[in-house]
Structure 1
Amino acid sequence: MWYAIYLCHPRILQYEYKNTNKLTFRPKKLSEAKQILADLGLNFSEAVNIFTNLIVAKQGLPFNLKFPNY
């Protein structure tokens, strides 16, 4: 019983297993993005984690998606 309560404590839930995923980017865009993030004090992995958390929090993309007019 104590063990189950301990695992449900909010401070414990913040430690989750990490997954490694393969993403494909254009090399120039990736380099530019990494430089911008470095200027902000973030690395690419941290930025992807922020983006992922925003998707979950907003239950969708964290920005408006518009289709181009052709």
Structure 2
Amino acid sequence: MSIRRLIGLTLATATLAGVSAIGATAAQAVALPTITAEECTAQGGTVKSNPYAGNVCSLPDGSTVKIT
């Protein structure tokens, strides 16, 4: 293999590895956060029970968070 091809292959592999690491970090950050019922009420939210969906916290800003 020529040096040029080897360098290109190395750069492509490093780029894919970097994109995978960034993608995994972003996916973890986007994952829905969960809180406890006590944390929900401490933040001024209300605990609501949804059939088939479990309990969620409805926060004053209008967002909902799943309760663990």
TM-score by length of 2: 0.29
- The structure with the largest alpha-carbon Rg is 2
For normalisation by structure 1, the TM-score amounts to 0.28
Q: More strand per residue: 1 or 2?
A: 2
